[in-house]
Each structure stands twice: as C-alpha cells, then as structure tokens.
Amino acid sequence: MLLSCFCALVLVVPGPCFTEYLKRYYNLKKEPFGRRKRSWPSFTSKVKDMQAFFGLNTTGAVDSETLEVMLSPRCGVPDVEEYSHNLGTRWNKNVITYSIGRYTRDLPRGTVDSLVESALSVWARASSLTFVRSPTRNADIMVEFVSYAHGDLYPFDGPRGTLAHAFGPGEGTGGDTHFDDDEHWTTGGNGFNLYLVAAHEFGHALGLKHSRNPESLMYPTYKYPRTLSLLSREDVANINTLYGPLRGRPHYFPRYGWSSQYSPWLSGPQYPRLMQNKCAPDVTFDAVSTVGDATFFFSEGYLWIKHNEQYDIKEGPITNFMPKIESSIDAAFWVPRRSTAYLIHGMKGSLVKGKPKPLTNFGFPVWVQDIDAAVHIVKTGRTLFFIHDIYWSYNENRRIMDIGYPKLISEDFPGLNTTISAAIHKEGFIYFFIGPQVYKYDYTHKHIVGAEKANTWLGC
C-alpha cells in the first residue's frame, strides 16, 4: 500500500501529493463541510507527525528533507496506526501456510518461489514459526503480483511509489501480500529486490507494524544496503514477543556492521555463530573462485573452502584463514598460469600474497568503485569483470583491458538481466551466482542451460 507522488515532479502543484501521502500513512482526514478548522487534525500537525516518525526536524513545513522522504519508494502499510508500538495481532498458531497465485513477468517462476521461501525463512530462523507451502488458494498468506486496482480497495499506482502491501493476520484477506507488478522486480540491486521487499511485507503478514528505526527491516521506505542479514535486534525481539524464540537455539542477534551484497532494508553479518548454516535456503555468495585444487566461497566476512577431491568443507570467518583480510570480499578469481588468486574488496584488488593494489591497476576508470563479480577463462586468457549491468574484458597475457569495453551484460549474455553476485568458470561453462540461485551458462552458444540453488555447491 505505497503511494506514488508523481505530482511532485510538477512542482507548481505539489499540494495534493502531500495531502494524499498524509491521508494514506498518517490518517489525515478530509475536513467536513462546516466544521471549524481548529476542531479537525491540521495538515501541519500531520506533517509534524510524519517528520517525528522519520526523525526529521518537526517544523510542520514540507522542506527538502521531508519531500525526499515523501518521494521515496516505500511500503503501503500506514505508519501512524499504533506506530508507538511495533506489534499488532498474531496468528493463533506457529505453522503458517502460504501460496503463490499470480507471478511477476520479471523473474522465472522458480526464482520467485525461491525468493519467497527465503524471505519467509528470515522470520522462521529468528522465531518458532514454520512455513509450509500450500497447493491451494486457501493459504494463510496468499502472494500475488497485481497492478492498479486489484480488488482490495488499495490500488497500486504504477512504477515506483507504492511497491507492495500486506494485511495483518486474520480471516479473509488477513496475511495476503500483494506486490505491484508494474515495478521492476529483481534479485539484485537494480530495480527493486524482491527478497528484501517480501521479507518486509511478510513481517506485516505476521503482525508487525512499521518501525522508526532505520536499521529495522520494518522501516517503511525501501533501501538497498550491501549486507546479508536483514533483521535487527528490534525485529527479532518483536517477532519473538508474538511467537516465541526458536527452541533449542540461542537468540539470533545478527547486527555487527555493514558490508557485502544481498539485501534491502538491512543490517549486518549472521555470525558470530560457531558455524554458518550453509544449507539455509537464502544462502548467497559474494565471490566464488577456485584457488589451486580447492574452491573458495565468500559470504560477508565468512568463508567456506571445499577441496575438489575431498568431501569435508572447512569454514569460518575469513580472518581465520587470511588474517590480513579485514573486510568482506566482493569478487575473486584465479589465474592458473601465474598460480595467483586475486581477491577484490572495495576499490582494491589484493593478491593472496602481496600488497593490495588499486583497481585502476587493471585499467579501470577512477569512477569504478567496486566489482560485483569476476571470472577468469583459461581458454581465452581473459578475466571478465561484472559491474551492475556492464562488464569489462581484461587480457591477462598483455595485462591490459580489451578495446571496446565496457559492454552491456544483457547484450553479450542473453538471459542475464540482473546484478551478478559471483561467477566461476568450470568445464567449459560459466556459473553465475545470482542471489540464492546459480545459473549454468553456455558461453559459446550464449544461453542458460541449467539452474539450481547456490548452496548445492556446498553439498546441500
């Protein structure tokens, strides 16, 4: 139930846009005919309520900061309803069913299934809840991708603005979660990340209200930080208050700082825990690379090492294996002819041995701030660097960038239309890791030939 303020683009008539925003999210009521103004909540007082919620200066005037928040894509659930308390109603059970009705055209059905499952598991891992997919349309949580008016009195508004909305627990429409299919839904940082938005909306479907805390998953506006874990301590405490903590496991307190790739409203790494759950359905990798006879999987500040001829997997914080690496790894690749692995973090590319060097050493322009993924192809002697929707080709023999780059990923890799998390070349194929999925790509014939969960590479 998000609101689009397209009229703000026409600055000569801003008033109705602000009014609609305050009506939708802060219960501004139309003044009845004949009622004296002082007896009805004023526009100014509602602006102050909104400013207080978002931690702005409570001037009562729509200044630039207030306007920026009003124009931000956001969840459509109102902020003011009981917003001094983050909890609402709850399901009178801990096993919740869900079903997916209409799908989006932006992603394969299997990807949507996986992202919805992963978003629900965010709450399951932090509480005693269990989610079971139902084959019928009578599930507790019905997921639908719809546009404009869709039968629930809360029409969507086209691209941007209102992204999604969800109803709290209860009969009928209770728990139902709707996504605006006029948005561009993705698994990465372009468009709107479905995993992030779904996790937020499912919080409402479970009974949580919006939070004033910008670090909370339940904060109303959409943002896409480079981090893995979604839940703040507040989110965990609130879901545990409604449904109880996960039995037999310590409380889940994930927030320990900012870093790497996959997630939206959110927070920090999932450890310190003794072990990461490599078989969790939402496991993603920031970088994957062979290093000698082993394969390294990086996720936030965590590392799994799988030796190709062995079944056991070594794992732990990266610093356990590489004490000099103090940040998460964004991309990694192995050049066999030099027996050298390159780890890229931030604006620096590091050798496993040797001093860090800036990305400009590869020939990147200074505006390149980070790399999403990198992969070396032995047969061609090229290393491909992927950044958002473009990529570069680096000649390892001559140690220069190939002429004519960057190029669009979508043109040279048909079927890949979102940000790539990690990549690795094996047995003639490039494997692209995108969110919790990995896609097997035939580089010769330019098409995807297979897909599976990313954590199957760790034996799950």
Instruction: List residues forming the annotated binding site for Zn(2+).
Output: 75, 150, 152, 165, 178, 200, 204, 210, 218
Q: What is the C-alpha to C-alpha distance for residues 232 and 138, in angstroms, rounded to an integer?
A: 32
Q: Is the CB of residue 249 less than 8 Å from the CB of residue 90?
A: no
Instruction: Name the residue with tokens 């490599």.
Output: 278
- H-helix or E-strand containing 357? strand 357-358
* Residue 247 CA from chain centroid, whole number: 27
- Residues annotated as binding site? 75, 106, 140, 150, 152, 157-158, 165, 174, 176, 178, 180-181, 183, 200, 204, 210, 218, 286, 330, 332, 374
The amino acid that residue 365 corresponds to is P
Find the helix packing angle between 43-53 and 15-26, rounded to 10°.
60
- H-helix or E-strand containing 287? strand 287-291
Task: Look at phi and psi of residue 292 and say left if phi exceeds 0, alpha if psi is from -120 to 50, else beta.
Answer: left
Q: What is the C-alpha to C-alpha distance for residues 363 and 405, in angstroms, rounded to an integer?
A: 11
309 among known catalytic residues: no
Burial of 356 (0-12, 13-18, 19+ CB in 10 A): middle
Question: CA nearest 127: which of 174, 91, 100?
Answer: 91
Strands 192-193 and 185-186: parallel
Q: What is the C-alpha to C-alpha distance for residues 344 and 191, in angstroms, rounded to an integer?
A: 25
- The beta-strand segments (E) located in 19-94 are 74-75
List the end-to-end C-alpha distance of the chain, in Å, as a whole number.
37
> What is the DSSP secondary-structure string of 189-211?
SSSEEHHHHHHHHHHHHTTB---
**HSE-CB of 408 using CA atoms within 13 angstroms:** 6
**Can you say whether the dihedral through the CA atoms of 16, 18, 20, 26 is positive or negative?**
negative
Length of the chain: 460
Out of 144, 201, 234, 300, the active site residue is: 201
Q: Which two tokens stand for residue 88?
A: 């609402």
* Residue 182 CA from chain centroid, whole number: 18
- Residues annotated as binding site for Ca(2+)? 106, 140, 157-158, 174, 176, 180-181, 183, 286, 330, 332, 374
Number of Cβ atoms within 10 Å of the Cβ of 387: 20
Q: Which two tokens stand for residue 92?
A: 């009178």
As a whole number of Å, the CA-based R_g of the chain is 24
Q: Is the CB of residue 255 less than 8 Å from the CB of residue 215?
A: yes
Question: Annotated catalytic sites, by residue?
Answer: 201
